[in-house]
Amino acid sequence: MARILFIQNFWFEFLGTMILSSVLKQKGHDVDLIIDNRPKAIAEYALQRKPDIVGAYTVSGSHTWVANALGEVRKATGAMTIAGGPHPTFFPDFIDHEAIDAICIGEGEGALVDLAGRLDANTGFDDIGNLWVKTNGRITRNSLRPLIDDLNTLPEPDRNLYYDRYPILRNSPSKHFITGRGCPFNCTFCSNKAYKMVYSGLGTMVRQPAPEKVCLEIQSVRDRFPLKSVRFDDEVFLLDTHWLIDFLDRYGRDIGLPFSCLIRADTATPDMIEAMKKAGCYIAYFGLESGNDYIRNQVLGKKVERQQIIDTARLLRQNKIKIGTFNMVGMPGETFENAWETIRLNQIIRSDYPWCSIIQPYPGTELEAFARSMGVLDASYGVDNLNQSYFNRSVIRNPDAEALIVLQKLFYIAVRWPSFGPLIRRIARNHPDTWLTRALFNITYAWRYSKTYKMPFYEIVKRARLWKQNY
């Protein structure tokens, strides 16, 4: 039996980590997890647990923290360190960091089970598909295994990994589920296009399990833990019409809990929206991104027309489904007036829960290449310049950058209360980002979060306090 410890610094139950825990436990391995932002505190906990493997789900922006935390744990315990997730998949040179012994590229279920089994048997492990392994300074770069074709073969995510230790997550009235893997679209700011290239010729990218399997998982969670609403975190909920109608019929009949989901404005149809409402959908989010047609479709590659956004919003309103939108400011070449177009379009469709971030062009994406071609990124800009937060600063040179940062903080207020528009325009144009604008953003962000997840506001405050304690 190998002992595996997962580490993270974000108060969230990652479904990928829970599935990895399930497949490892199926093979008899011991799995544990700690959430803490302090690497030394994690190392102290690991010293008690004596893991053989310490792993971390790693996204670009948090990779520096991951490397520091893994380094502290390895120094304290001698455990093998491994990083998986988007960052090592797209930036495999992460293995060059002295704290990293191995990285997992792409899907990790088979790779991590093989690694744990080899360590348990004390046999070689430098030939495992999907893993790059560093041994005595020598790096073995193994090829990728095919994508998991049949998601029905995967076990139910191991929610006890989080809930046994963290009651604040267990007792949350809303919990996250995923009904499939993969996205067929090619937005320039997203890594999906690069992921397809990584896995070219190695299987079907978009996959879904049987509708009944998803319903059984939700029923299992409802039977064991508090559950008042469901959040489907699929990148796009509306893809396969036949699958969706079958699933929604089963969900409405067997589950019946209110749910929220993510859709695309150009894939929604009246039949789909009506079926979502009948099954219990209370909020549907979609990426509006920018109210400027050129920025949305040419710069960001959304390929969603303005009228499609308006029509989908109307369908949602007709079915009494609340509207949530994802928006961004600070795109290459965007002016203050372009950003205000985004606020106006949100006002026109009467977005109930607008969410806005400051764009960070991920290295390797088409958006980064476009920004470089415009000369609005520093020559030294790279993955280490990314911030863990989408809400703090802009890395793109722009005469309106400071005004856009303030506008992002006040975005929710500007959309929900249009009468404040003239005042917000003056504030954004003439005043820097301050503790007050940040406080207003935090309050409106927490309010939107509480409504999206049907979570009491005081629960949001409790999570914020836990986060602060761990710094």
One pLDDT digit (tens) per residue for the chain, 471 residues? 999 999 999 888 999 999 999 999 999 999 999 999 999 999 999 999 999 999 999 999 899 999 999 999 999 999 999 999 999 999 999 999 999 999 999 999 999 999 999 998 988 888 999 999 999 889 999 999 999 999 999 999 999 999 999 998 999 999 999 999 988 898 999 888 888 889 999 999 999 999 999 999 999 999 999 999 999 998 888 788 899 999 999 999 999 999 999 999 999 999 999 999 999 999 999 999 999 999 999 999 999 999 999 999 999 999 999 999 999 999 999 999 999 999 999 999 999 999 999 998 988 899 999 999 999 999 898 888 877 677 778 889 999 999 999 999 999 999 999 999 999 999 999 999 999 999 999 999 988 888 888 877 777 777 677 666 554
Task: Supply the pLDDT for residue 388.
Answer: 67
Strand 281-289, strand 3-8: pairing:
unpaired
> Alpha carbon of 324 to those of 35, 186, 201, 359, 382: distances in Å?
29, 22, 36, 18, 31
Q: Where are the domains of the chain?
A: 3-141, 171-469
Residue from 81, 131, 82 nearest 105 by CA: 131
Expressed in angstroms, the distance from the first to the final Cα of the chain is: 34
> Alpha carbon of 46 to those of 43, 55, 161, 255: distances in Å?
5, 12, 16, 39
Task: Supply the pLDDT for residue 466.
Answer: 66
Cα 444 to Cα 438: distance, rounded to the nearest angstrom = 10
Cα 150 to Cα 110: distance, rounded to the nearest angstrom = 13
Strand 80-84, strand 53-57: pairing:
parallel
Give one DSSP letter per residue of 18-86, joined into a string: HHHHHHHHHTT-EEEEEE-S-HHHHHHHHHHH--SEEEEE--TTTHHHHHHHHHHHHHHH--EEEEESH
What amino acid occupies position 446? A
Cα 118 to Cα 113: distance, rounded to the nearest angstrom = 9
Q: Where are the alpha helices (DSSP H) in 50-184?
A: 63-77, 86-90, 109-121, 160-163, 167-170
Q: What is the DSSP letter of 287?
A: E
| The residue to which tokens 């977005």 are assigned | 351
This model's pTM is above 0.85: yes
The torsion defined by the Cα of 228, 233, 238 and 244, in degrees rounded to 10, comes to -50
| For the chain, the helix, strand and coil percentages under 3-state DSSP, each to the nearest 5 | 45, 15, 40
Give the pLDDT confidence of 44-56 residue by residue, as tens digits.
999 999 999 999 9
Retrieve residue 391's tokens: 């809400």
Give the pLDDT confidence of 274-288 residue by residue, as tens digits.
999 999 999 999 999
CB 460 within 8 A of CB 449: yes
Cα 215 to Cα 224: distance, rounded to the nearest angstrom = 14
Cα 147 to Cα 140: distance, rounded to the nearest angstrom = 21
Task: Supply the pLDDT for residue 470.
Answer: 55
Phi, psi of 175 (to 5 degrees): -135, 155
Tell me the CB-side half-sphere exposure of residue 72, using CA atoms within 13 A.
Answer: 16
Could you tell me the CATH superfamily of domain 171-469?
tm_1862 like domain (3.80.30.20)
Give one DSSP letter per residue of 344-385, joined into a string: HHHHHHT-SEEEEEE----TTSHHHHHHHHHT-S-TT--GGG
Phi, psi of 289 (to 5 degrees): 65, -65
Task: Supply the pLDDT for residue 208.
Answer: 94
Retrieve residue 213's tokens: 């399997």
Task: Supply the pLDDT for residue 467.
Answer: 63
Cα 119 to Cα 375: distance, rounded to the nearest angstrom = 49
CB 329 within 8 A of CB 342: yes
CB 69 within 8 A of CB 76: no
What residues form DSSP beta bridges with 358? 329
Cα 40 to Cα 46: distance, rounded to the nearest angstrom = 10
Cα 273 to Cα 302: distance, rounded to the nearest angstrom = 21
- Which CATH class for the 3-141 domain? alpha beta
Cα-based angle 422, 340, 389 (whole degrees, multiple of 5)? 110
| The residue to which tokens 């699933």 are assigned | 247
